[in-house]
Amino acid sequence: MAILLDGKAVSAAVKAQVKTEVAALKEQGVSVGLAVIIVGDNPASRTYVNNKKKACAEAGIVSEEYALPADTSQDELLSLIDTLNRKPEINGILCQLPLPAHLDEKAVIAAIAAEKDVDAFHAVNVGHIMIGDHTFLPCTPAGIMEMLHFYKIDAAGKACVVIGRSNIVGKPMAMLLLQADGTVTICHSKTQRLAEVTARADILVAAVGIPHFVTADMVKPGAVVIDVGMDRDENGKLCGDVDFAAVEPKASYITPVPGGVGPMTVAMLLKNTVAAAKMQNNL
């Protein structure tokens, strides 16, 4: 029987720390502000944005929402970002992805000032992550590392396998595990004999977006299994990339879906926003 990695409990601890830091900054005359841009009416994006706004309010962070119509032009979006870049009371800017197809996500990410890029997607911040002197970390990988630390799971010397190579989760996740002295393998759609590779993992991170993709035969007995997926099964029920019922008896630790990695992502966004405010105010 695996121990559940409780993202709600860990995120509550992170949020409590953030709230304390925000209050301390206010005593120094510094207000912490986050701007959230959402383009169009993607229901999942709307849910994420609402969760972020609620978390900001609870932590004492001022959040400004900019809800733009789906037909917003590239120039209009870039103009808004430019305005927010120059707005001193805004410490962090987040543009909710995915964007409508006619908009250039790369150009939008590049337009956000690196020091306000609390998603840590800007090329400058990605470079800092590569060389290990970062101020911000991408929220989901950072949240996973926070969970491992909370449960005293040390990656040093462990075989770590990440399934997925996205810029948002897979690649930065691999870098953070490497910086924690793990021996890291990245798997993807072209990986051969995938189950053989994953079955060697002491720490297995699944970030592919396919329901129940990771089956019991892919998991080493006693492995730590991190499920980043937020999928829907054939009955429309929320599930992850891991076949939880089959894998849980083999694992030593496992994240549930929901209630695992998801809550950590929002908590780390708040942490990044506070870090941005400190940096911009030379604190």
| Identified catalytic residue from 15, 116, 117, 119 | 119
Tokens of 10: 């860990």
Residue 109, SS3 per DSSP:
helix
Question: Does the active-site annotation cover 119?
Answer: yes
In angstroms, the CA 220 to CA 270 distance is: 34
For 189, residues 6+ apart whose C-beta sits below 8 A from its C-beta are none
Phi then psi dihedrals of residue 189, to 5 deg: -65, -20
- Give the Å distances, CA to CA, from 271 to 39, 52, 234, 235, 256: 24, 12, 36, 36, 23
The tally of CA atoms less than 13 A away on the side-chain side of residue 50 is 7
Q: Is 232 exposed, middle or buried (0-12, 13-18, 19+ CB in 10 A)?
A: exposed
Tokens of 269: 């966004």
Question: Does the active-site annotation cover 96?
Answer: yes
Question: Does the active-site annotation cover 179?
Answer: no
- Give the Å distances, CA to CA, from 203 to 52, 111, 188, 218: 29, 35, 16, 12
CB neighbourhood size of 131 (10 A): 9
Q: How many residues does the chain have?
A: 283
| Identified catalytic residue from 15, 96, 158, 220 | 96
In angstroms, the CA 61 to CA 57 distance is: 6
Tokens of 50: 């609402």
Tokens of 66: 């900019």
Active site residues: 52, 96, 119
